[in-house]
Structure 1
Amino acid sequence: MTDPWEILNSLANKLNSLSTAPREQALLGQALKLSEETGEVAEAVIGALGMNPRKGHSHDWDDVRAEACDAAVTALILIARTGADPRDLFESHLQYLHNRSLTREATA
């Protein structure tokens, strides 16, 4: 399997099949996993900038990028686990953001 969207859906299906929790709790767990991953992005940025005096430069920008990928995949798996098609939803939302950026100034 080489298609990224097939891999993503396969991972979501695997997590669903292994979960013994009720559906809503499984989705809550996936959302909390996303929060954990974003924390790891923040930790990597702090380490890349050397902002923790105790740890110094504990990470580099490759670490930041890898953690950002983990967060993105976890978010897309959450979408898949809710029953939506992550590719369709992502592409549609990306187009929405693009169209919005053309009609007003970006704020972020």
Structure 2
Amino acid sequence: MSERNDAPGDPWQSVELLHSWLESNRVHDGRELLLLRLLKLQEEVGEVAEAVIGVTGSNPRKGTTHSWDDVRSELCDVIITAMVALRTLAPDARAVFAAHLARVAERSLDARRG
């Protein structure tokens, strides 16, 4: 492996470990497994919404129930879950993500300059 891949804190190393752990404990296979991993992403996004509602006190019955730290934590869970879902779809998830991020950045930054 390259030095970059072995760097402490490399998120893709952790994603591989999480993916392996989930694979060794899975209940479903094939398409059902993939669909459930994608549904887990929606669940995590819902938790972000719940935290935002809680931090703003938007639910008069509950009042303020969350902090901005909770929102940040839930956003991290969304990112981790999305990375694991991508790894489930693509063994080369790191390369897929890097290429896609480069395209989005180029397209967005070029549009801003134009």
Q: How does the TM-score come out when normalised to structure 2?
A: 0.83
| Counterpart position of 2:19 | 12
| Counterpart position of 2:60 | 53
| Counterpart position of 2:87 | 80
Q: CA RMSD in A?
A: 1.6
1:88 Cα shift?
1.6
State the alpha-carbon separation in 1 of the partners of residues 67 and 79 from structure 2: 19
| Counterpart position of 2:69 | 62
- Decide whether the 8 Å contact of 1:16 with 1:81 is kept in 2: no
1:89 Cα shift?
1.9
State the alpha-carbon separation in 1 of the partners of residues 13 and 110 from structure 2: 34
Q: Equivalent pairs: percent with the same residue?
A: 45
- Decide whether the 8 Å contact of 1:79 with 1:85 is kept in 2: no
Unaligned runs of 5+ in 2: 1-5
Q: 1:94 to 1:83 in 2, by over 3 A?
A: closer
2:20 equivalent to 1:25: no
- Decide whether the 8 Å contact of 1:34 with 1:75 is kept in 2: yes
Q: How does the TM-score come out when normalised to structure 1?
A: 0.88
State which drifts further: 95-104 or 71-80. 95-104
Aligned residues: 105
